[in-house]
Amino acid sequence: MANPEYKEVLDGLDKLSVCLYRAGITGLALSLLLLSIILSGVTSRFAEYSNVVLLAISTSAALSAANIHIYSKHVRAAICWSAWVGILLMLSDPEQTRIWLSLGFIFVTFSGIALKESFCFKVLGLKLVPLLLAASTLSLWLQQQLVASILMATSALVIGYLAIIKWRMPLHFDIGIKANYEI
């Protein structure tokens, strides 16, 4: 994981991967907040955009998973593959009857990201995100949309706060020491 005290020389691909990773985190925060609004039923104005929001969540997962910077290849693989499995499950379920399952896999990815970031940087509430996302998946499975909505909104606020902090950091904070990465 990143070592903020060490400043690695970044090439263009490094900078691009960090920006795409951060864009994925930002996209998740925004799309998760929209999904929580849709699930809450407060307004039916966004209900017709639920597929677009699910696409945004999937895109955010793909961006973050494809560009995550973790030294351990086994941890990196677990985080990445859960995103791809979630995206494939979402694509294979056009009626969204098992949306809790596909979101559950995607939430594993962002739970891993939240834990990774909590070890690297001190961000308030970040260690609670895996619990909130797991509870929201369970709530979706139990068809408790309002509970899932509240849990997702809380997660979205914490992840949004993380996104703001990440965009303020220098890019080399995300890379750490390149020589430490397992290939």
Which of 21-30, 55-64, 75-84, 171-180 shows the lowest mean pLDDT across its residues? 171-180
Give the mean model confidence (pLDDT) for residues 85-109. 93
pTM (two decimals): 0.89
4 lies in a domain?
no
CA 23, chain centre distance (Å):
10
**Separation of alpha carbons 102 and 83, rounded Å:** 9
Dihedral class, residue 121 (left if φ above 0, else alpha if ψ from -120 to 50, else beta): beta
| Number of residues written out for the chain | 183
Which residues lie closer than 8 Å to 81 by C-beta, 6 or more apart? none
Q: Which residue range(s) make up the domain with 42?
A: 12-180
Give the mean model confidence (pLDDT) for residues 35-60. 85
Give the mean model confidence (pLDDT) for residues 45-62. 87
**Separation of alpha carbons 79 and 112, rounded Å:** 6
2 lies in a domain?
no
Structurally, the chain folds into a number of domains equal to 1
